[in-house]
Amino acid sequence: MKLCVISGDGIGPEVIDAALQVLHALSPELKIETVIAQAGWDTFQATGSALPDTTRALAEAADAVLFGAVASPSHAVPGYQSPIVALRRALDLYANIRPTTNTGLPAASGQPPVDLVVVRENTEGLYAGRERLTDDGHTAIAERVITRRGSERIVRRACELAMQRGQRTGTAPKVTIVHKANVLRVSDGLFRTVALEVAQQYPALTIEELLVDTAAMHLAQAPQRFDVIVTTNMFGDILSDIACIHGGGLGLASSANIGERQALFEPVHGAAPDIAGRGIANPLAAIQCVALLLEWAATRPEHAEAQRIVYDQWAQRLRAAIATTLCNGPHTPDMGGTATTAEVTTAIIEHV
């Protein structure tokens, strides 16, 4: 399997270096060949492009991408475009899967279990990149693109995932469709209609719908009530950050961006300029991306059955090592500890 590694800016290189150390410590049986590529703000300043053609080509030629974080300025910079948003679209990675659980977190002991996944549409909505200023410069307009095709495939993905989770845990699976169709009548109206159509094809699922603001309140207050949440691009971006609080915060939140043929794995967090270069970034979100990568590889039809078993076994071993480290430490400062990125990484490798 070919893995393109893009570490990016800020703490991106620190946490991706940790993830690669772990990956290389696992087993040569995994047969993963890594190729390094550049993207982000530093790359933009050096080359004039945040996502150079060579990087795009390496990502397109790979089976999967491991992505750190990039520092995108919040003001407009001519020629700068967020490379992660561009990559998701270039590789048509339409499903952003963001799991959150508090299982095994020391701080969550005695709390009701949270185990939910936000499935976020990843290629359209308000992040379709259709923004403009009127000629007088006094009005800014962003177009929100919702298509039947985009809605159908993301909701199908969410329903399939809920079915798999139900089979694994033996509990009744539920999908919550989140929208704002009472205000965004046309765009979220279409998303809602298509979502309910698709969901009907899964009679074993409990289906509910929530308006996004109500969903945000429930996510903050009663996350145990959720199983799989499916929503449009920006709502999913925001809701998944709320959800990740219950899973120990941004330092532990990982995500998979999945298309038909390829996938990209990345921590949910950004470049964290406030702690970059100090060696204290929590590497667990990036290390969990390696587990997500192996779990994804274990489902891919292009790998022989025996190889899929190898991926699955090493994913489980890595999950166990992460669980032990979560429980016993060492922990970085964001989790209340005093350990460095390197100390946590070494502990994971020892446990594996």
Which parts of this chain interact with ligand NAI (CB under 6 A)? 11, 15, 69-72, 84, 250-251, 266, 269-275, 281-282, 285, 334
If contact means CB under 5 to 8 A according to the sort of partner, which of Mg ion, ligand NAI, none does residue 250 touch? ligand NAI
Q: H or E segment at 24? A: helix 12-26
Among residues 7 and 122, whose Cβ is nearest to Mg ion?
A: 122
Burial 131-150 (b: 16+ CB within 10 A, else e): eeeeeeeeeeeeebbbbeeb
State how far the Cα of 293 lies from the Cα of 183, in Å rounded to an integer: 38
If contact means CB under 5 to 8 A according to the sort of partner, which of ligand NAI, Mg ion, none does residue 269 touch? ligand NAI
Using CA atoms, how far residue 177 sits from 214, 225, 239, in Å, is: 12, 13, 12
State how far the Cα of 290 lies from the Cα of 34, in Å rounded to an integer: 13
- Paired strand residues for 65: 4, 264
Among 63, 121, 188, 237, binds Mg ion (CB under 5 A): 237
Q: Is 136 a catalytic residue?
A: no
- Cβ 279 to ligand NAI, closest distance in Å? 11
Among residues 37 and 69, whose Cβ is nearest to Mg ion?
A: 69
The residue from 42, 115, 237, 334 that is catalytic is 237
Q: Which of residues 318-337 bind Mg ion (CB under 5 A)?
A: none
Q: Is 227 a catalytic residue?
A: no
State how far the Cα of 268 lies from the Cα of 162, in Å rounded to an integer: 21
The residue from 9, 17, 63, 180 that is catalytic is 180
Q: Which residue is nearest to Mg ion (CB)?
A: 237
Q: Is 174 a catalytic residue?
A: no
Give residue 1's identity as a one-letter amino acid code: M
Give residue 314's identity as a one-letter amino acid code: W
The residue from 80, 92, 241, 312 that is catalytic is 241
Using CA atoms, how far residue 296 sits from 136, 264, 281, 293, in Å, is: 49, 10, 26, 5
Q: Is 213 a catalytic residue?
A: yes
Report how many residues bind Mg ion under the rule CB under 5 A.
Answer: 1
Q: Is 2 a catalytic residue?
A: no
Would you tell me which residues interact with Mg ion (CB under 5 A)?
237
Tell me which residues are annotated as active site.
127, 180, 213, 237, 241
